[in-house]
Every structure is written in structure tokens, then in C-alpha cells.
């Protein structure tokens, strides 16, 4: 979805072919912009490990039609720094860094590849680590490299939400260090899987009351992320997803 | 409860009549201060959609007697701005805006109508949107208008916690924009329902160990909120609750 | 574990004896550094109430061997204050206070007594309160007094994670007040228990996909904490854990 928007060179036909199927079989691809270096060969339809949901893959997109879209998946622009006396209150570097992660989780939940990719530099690395039974972290596969690869992975390797489905990647208890044009953020994350109940064809039963659906925590861990301030914007240069549990990928 | 405190014109008798009953039947009301404009006619006993719990409605209040009350439901006052050299460290506008939401969730969890209403301007609007099966948001009912209506709804339409019950509306990953005396905040929310286990009449069984009760996530979505800085305090002027799932109200 | 590191006077043998056993029977202890005043006599193997997990107690430690450790359990040092023009962006007092809690939850989750104890002054008090059936908070046992006691309790009275186990103490919706060298923070907390699934001896079954394990919210409440700025660092002087549910301790 949206692969042909925003300057992607890949033809629509090819893009469609590259999307992972609902049977989660392996896919391969090539592209002048997503080089074989930037996404490891053999990369394939993946479940969501903090950003890859364990379901069949991308098909129709999940744009919620209609009224008010939750804001937050736009590309964050750094507001000009001004003193607190100006019309714009000065946003601290810590807040700006924290908001990058706030954009990240929304882009992941909304499968917005363009917004997600824009948060990363062209040579950024993204690596998932999973805890084994013995407690140590081990890398899962090889790192993604660069914003375009992140965009591609978000659009093609992240499982789409089923009808009525959604997710919330939530972060908390941030530790943020800013040193000039470099920053580091460590955060806890919990991923919740949302499944709205479907309205029965003959309406809700007598006595039905309140929110209808389930909210289930399914993944947890830490994000450990390095950023750089480039051309007035904070960008992610290294993003580590430290998952508390094993991650099983088909064919891996 | 507390309807006759804080200057409410409504007589206690009338107030009592207007509270929604445990069978969650429709109630109507009129009041010189809560005009028919500010709460839509036909508004009735509601479940908690981010702030209305799916249970029978207000009866005795839920004041936790005794020792240390969690602070946070008082009316927030804006501290005088000073530099970081002063005895009060300067709290950024972003933090002040975020704390309004922190007060909001505590007031919702504690069913504190006075504290909740005080966060809103007299012409503020509150609108709940719920996702349908197709993914789009649709408004649920008509908006509440004004702090007094919010107070009234909190006190009368929010389901009371049962004995041993509590809730936590939690927010995360805030995106905050401040532009002079206007601000916007977008946040993810997850609502947890707490049910403390009751101590058996003959004491806990041998081997019982640890916290006794359940913590269950039941609702999720986004808050999307506009604020204005008025007389030294940030107040909510538009509050949108974007619920991830359908919301079923009796008689709706 | 680690009782003999970092200057603890207690001999290894004695320390081992004092650790609570997996049958969670009562232990008593004495120590020149952890005086009978600082940990109430009769204090014993405790479940985790926001920081004490309801399981058998400390045995082997839970150091995740190998690669990237989630940062955050080091002793936080206050960075020198500089203007935003300097190489270090100025971190607000509010953020510094909030990060103390961020260190606290990581130290609790990682059973890092040294890091945990370092967050408290030598005369700090820690008191757990639990809600009874009637809604009021009641103190659970007597307060811990002082950083060394907090360290000791973290290392000896907190239940170790089983193989594949972890936890996340998460906080949200902070209300922070800073007044010179004194600060107060109130936060909601939710504790999640993590249990990674064990890889079957003959590998994951065909079709296994995604993160393998469970994430379960088990405890909730409020932290209500006073801090003081001492020698350039914020330290906790009073820490109250307001638990939403009864807490049952063996022999209590």
C-alpha cells in the first residue's frame, strides 16, 4: 500500500507481488531504492515484534474512513526554537526526542510506512533482540538498514489488522540523554492487541452495555534508541527492540 | 453525590432522582445550570467509554476512607512562572498541558465530578467517537457542553465502582503542541479495570501469597484534546475520545 | 545475591542463610548496616507489591547474559545544569524527578538492589498501603527505612523471576511538583508479569508465529513520593506504594 506514493520507484505491479501473503510464506524482492544491503536477503513476512503483528500480512490497508483521524502519524517537523516568551513555547530536546518515539508507535500501530520511514536516517539500523529461555538477548535476523527499508518493512512485512482490529504500542518510564546533536532514549514498551466485537446482524443482545471488544497485552520489552539532530530534526540512527520473549518467524 | 455542593442549584431531592439507577434505565433531567443545550436531551446512564464504566450507576460514592489519599484530584492551579533560579522550577507549558490530562484520568477513576468539571471551560465540548466494524470512527451520541455538564455526567452517568473495584485510565506517548495560549495534546489511552479480591470470612487460605485481585485492560483508544490558557490556567476546550471499539448504550 | 559486593559487611554464608527460601517461610536477620530499626523485626520473604513478586524467593539472580543490556539501572547522576545553548541540553527538574521513578521501576524489575538502594536517602521511608474491601488504604507492615534497607529488601525479599520470567513496573500520568530542593511525584502504576514460552525440545510446532509468551497485568495503584535534591542528585525521602488490592504475606 502506498508504495507508489511519495516517490517510490517500484511499479505498483511489482509492489503488489512483493507484499507478503496471508499464508505468510517467504517473499523476496529487489528495488533500486531498497537495496539488497538495506533489507537482508530472505527477509520475509514477519509477525509483530513490537512492530510486527503475528498475523497474515498486508492486503487492503487499514485506513479508518471517516471522521477524526488520531493525529500523530505525520512527519514530525521541528518547530523553531524560541524562548518561552515567544508565541511558541520552547519544547525541550528531551520532549522532542520523546515525541519521536510517540510518532514511532503510532506509525507502527497504523502501519504507516511513510511516516515510520521518515523517522530514520538513511543509514539507520533497526535490530530486534529476543530473550531466550536462559535470559540472554539474541539478535533476531539481521538489522534493517535505512528509512526506506523501514518504510518498506512497515508496508509489506507488518501484518495488517483484521476487521475490527487495532493495536497500541505504548511506552513508559523514559530515560533520555541529550548531548548536543546526539540523544539516547530507553523506554519500556507494552504492546496491546485490540479486537473490536462485531455487531451481530440483528443488533446487540438485550442488556449489552459498554465497550465491546478485547484489549490484550501481547508483547513487552525495552526500546533502546540513539538519535541525531540533523537539519533541525531528530532522527533515529540506531533502534534496538529488546523483546522479553522468543520471536518465531516462519522459515527462520 | 456532591451535587448540592459547590454552588449547584439543583435541590438534593431532584439530584437524587436524576442519578441513574443500577438497572441503567434512561433518565432525563433539567436544571438551570445544566441547560438542555449543554447535555443532550435523552442523555442517560452511560457505561464508561474511557470515562464511563459498564456497570450500574452512582449510588454511595467511593471515597476511600482512611489514610493517604492519592493526590491529584484537586483543581490544578498554575504556579507562577519563574526562572529555574527561583524557588519554583519553571514548569514547561508542555508539562502543564500533560498534567491536565493526568488530572483528568484521576478524576475519571475517582468519579470526582467537581475536579473533572473544573478542567473544562464553560463552553468546552466532549465527544466520544467509536470505531465501527469497518474501521471508521462515528460519534456516539451528541457532545457534552461545558464544565458543569462534565461534572454532572461524572457524578451521575459514570458507573460507580463496586466494593473492591477501581480503575486506571492511563495515557502514554503524548504529542503536545503549544502555540501561545493554545495547546493540543494527543495521547494513547488504555483503561484498566481493577477488582480486589475479598478476604474470605475465615481468612485467606493457607499459602495465599501476594496481591489479591485482577487487573484487566478493557478499553483503549486516543484522546485528542484542545486547550486554552485562560486566567493563568490551561483549560480543556475540546476533548475527543476516540474509542477503538463499539460502545453500546442502553436505549441508544 | 550481590550481598557481598559493594561494601556490604555481611558474610556470604550469613547472607545466603538470610535469603528467603522458595517455600517463602519467614526469615529474620541482623546486620550492623541494616539495623533492626531500618527493617522491622519479623520482616520476611515478601511477594511483589509493586516491587515484590508473588513467587518463591531469590536464588540465582536473573542476569541476562550476553548482548545489549537495557540501560537504566545505573545510579543516576545529575548532569551539570547548562543552558540549552550548551552541549548538554538543560534537563528540567521535573524530568529529573520523573527519571528517578524510571530508574526505580527498572531496578525493581531487574532486582538490582544496589541501583535501587542508591535512589533513597539513608533515612528514607518506604511504606506499602493496600486497599481493603471497604476501599480504605491500610499500611502493610511497617516501613522500610533507608537506602541500605531498600537494597537489602530488593536483593533478599523480592521474588526472583523464574526462567523465562520478567516484569515491567510501568508508571503513567505523573503529577510533579518541584519547590527548590524538594519535589513530589504522584504516578499511576501497573505491574505486568512476563512469562516467555519455552522452546520445545524438538523446536516450535509448524505454524508457530510471533512472540511466544504471556504479558499479564497483576498489580496496580499509585506511587506517591517525596524527593530532596542533595549534593546535586534527587533522592527519594518518602515513598508510598498505594496498592489497589489486598496484599497477603506469609505469616503476616
Q: Is C95 helix (H, G, I), strand (E, B) or coil?
A: helix
CA distance B57 to B60: 10
Q: What was the pLDDT predicted at C158?
A: 87
Question: Which 3 state secondary structure label does DSSP give B217?
Answer: strand
A12-58+89-198+209-243, what's its fold?
Nuclear Transport Factor 2; Chain: A, (3.10.450)
Confidence of residue A6 (pLDDT cuts 50, 70, 90): very low
Q: Is the pLDDT of residue C38 over 80?
A: no
Place of cell 541529550: A178
Task: Map residue B243 onto helix, strand or coil.
Answer: strand
Query: According to the model, what pLDDT value does residue B15 have?
Result: 29
- H helices of chain C, in order, are 12-18, 93-109, 113-117, 147-156
The residue assigned the cell 525440545 is C201
Phi/psi of residue C176, nearest 5 degrees:
-125, 130
Q: How much is the pLDDT for C135?
A: 63
Average pLDDT of the segment spanning C74-84:
37
CA C177 – CA B87 distance, rounded (Å): 12
Give the Cα separation of C56 and C158 in Å (integer): 9
Q: Is pLDDT above 70 for C8?
A: no
Residue of A nearest to C211 (CA): A247
pLDDT in tens, C187-234: 999 999 999 999 899 999 988 888 999 999 999 999 999 999 999 999
Within 8 A by CB and 6+ apart from A192, the residues are A167, A168, A170, A215, A216, A217, A218, B190, B217, B220
Residue C219 CB neighbours (<10 A): 29
Shortest Cα distance, chain B CAs vs residue C247, angstroms: 4
Q: Are C221 and B69 in contact (CB under 8 A)?
A: no
A166-180, A217-231, B151-165, C99-113: which range is least confident on average?
A: B151-165
ipTM of the complex: 0.75
Span A64-80, mean pLDDT?
Answer: 36
Q: Give chains near B: 3+ CB pairs under 8 A.
A: A, C
**pLDDT score for B99:** 97
Q: Cα separations (Å) of B165 from B52, B160, B193, C80, C190?
A: 14, 9, 8, 45, 15
> What are the percentages of helix, strand and coil residues in chain A, rounded to 5?
15, 35, 50
Give per-residue pLDDT as tens, A77-136: 334 333 333 334 458 999 999 999 999 999 999 999 999 999 999 999 999 999 976 668
Proportion of chain C in helix, strand, coil states, percent, rounded to 5: 15, 35, 50
Q: Is the pLDDT of residue A7 over 50?
A: no
CB contacts < 8 A (A, B):
150
A59-63, A69-73, A197-201, B8-12: range with lowest mean pLDDT: B8-12
Record: fold of B12-59+94-197+210-243? Nuclear Transport Factor 2; Chain: A, (3.10.450)
Report strand pairing: C233-243 vs C120-131. Answer: parallel
**C50 vs C46: CA distance, rounded Å:** 11
Report the SS3 class of residue C94.
Answer: helix
* Residue of chain B with shortest Cα separation from A92: B92
Please give the grid coordinates belonging to residue A224.
Answer: 533502546
Number of H helices, E strands in chain A: 4, 8
Range list of H helices, A134-246:
147-156
Closest residue in C to A247 (Cα–Cα): C211
Contact of C56 with C21, CB cutoff 8 Å: yes
Domain C12-19+35-58+87-197+210-243 CATH (choose: 1.20.1340.10, 3.40.50.300, 3.90.1150.10, 3.10.450.50): 3.10.450.50
Question: How many other β-carbons are positioned within 10 Å of the β-carbon of residue A237?
Answer: 17
Has residue C84 got a pLDDT over 50?
Answer: no
Rounded to an integer, the average pLDDT of C133-155 is: 90
pLDDT higher than threshold 80 for residue C157: yes
Tell me whether B87 touches chain C (CB under 8 Å): yes
Q: What are the residue ranges in chain B where pLDDT is below 50?
A: 1-89
Cβ distance A170 to B188 less than 8 Å, yes or no, reads: yes
| All structural domains of chain B with their residue ranges | 12-59+94-197+210-243
Q: Is B204 on the interface with C (CB under 8 A)?
A: yes
Nearest by Cα to C225 from C216, C214, C236: C236
A102 touches chain B (CB under 8 A): yes
Residues 157-186 of B with CB under 8 A from A: 172-180, 184, 186
CB A78 within 8 Å of CB A95: no
Contact residues on chain A for B131, CB-CB shorter than 8 A: 64, 164, 166, 196
Q: Which residue has the higher pLDDT, C122 or A88?
A: C122
Predicted confidence (pLDDT) per residue in A15-67, tens digit: 222 333 333 222 323 333 444 344 443 343 443 332 322 222 222 223 333 33
pLDDT of residue B251: 61
**B110, three cell numbers:** 475517582
Classify B84 in phi/psi space as left (phi over 0), alpha (psi -120 to 50) or beta: alpha
Q: Which residue did the predictor score with more confidence, A57 or C153? A: C153
Mark out the alpha helices in chain A (DSSP H runs): 12-18, 93-109, 113-117, 147-156
Task: Give φ, ψ of B99 to 5 degrees.
Answer: -70, -25
Task: With residue B155 as reference, give the H or E element that holds it.
Answer: helix B147-156
Amino acid at each position: 500500500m502506498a508504495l507508489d506514493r511519495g516517490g517510490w520507484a517500484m511499479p505498483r505491479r511489482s509492489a503488489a507481488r512483493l507484499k507478503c501473503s496471508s499464508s505468510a510464506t517467504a517473499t523476496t524482492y529487489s528495488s533500486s531504492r531498497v537495496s539488497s544491503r538495506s533489507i537482508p536477503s530472505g527477509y520475509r513476512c514477519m509477525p509483530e515484534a513490537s512492530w510486527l503483528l503475528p498475523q497474515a500480512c498486508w492486503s487492503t490497508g487499514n485506513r479508518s474512513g471517516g471522521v477524526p483521524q488520531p493525529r500523530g502519524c505525520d512527519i514530525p517537523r521541528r518547530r523553531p526554537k524560541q524562548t518561552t516568551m515567544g508565541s511558541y513555547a520552547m519544547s525541550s530536546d528531551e520532549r522532542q526526542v520523546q515525541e519521536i518515539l510517540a510518532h514511532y508507535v503510532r506509525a507502527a500501530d497504523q502501519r504507516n510506512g511513510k511516516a515510520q520511514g521518515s523517522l530514520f536516517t538513511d543509514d539507520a539500523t533497526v535490530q530486534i533482540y529476543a530473550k531466550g529461555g536462559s535470559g540472554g538477548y539474541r539478535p533476531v535476523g539481521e538489522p534493517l538498514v535505512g528509512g526506506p527499508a523501514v518504510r518498506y518493512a512497515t508496508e509489506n512485512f507488518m501484518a495488517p489488522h483484521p476487521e475490527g482490529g487495532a493495536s497500541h504500542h505504548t511506552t513508559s518510564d523514559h530515560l533520555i540523554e541529550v548531548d548536543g546533536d546526539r540523544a539516547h532514549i530507553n523506554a519500556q514498551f507494552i504492546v496491546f492487541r485490540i479486537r473490536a466485537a462485531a455487531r451481530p446482524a440483528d443488533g446487540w443482545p438485550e442488556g449489552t452495555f459498554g465497550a465491546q471488544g478485547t484489549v490484550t497485552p501481547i508483547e513487552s520489552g525495552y526500546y533502546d534508541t540513539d538519535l541525531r539532530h540533523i537539519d533541525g530534526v531528530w532522527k533515529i540512527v540506531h533502534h534496538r527492540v529488546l523483546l522479553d520473549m522468543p520471536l518465531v518467524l516462519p522459515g527462520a
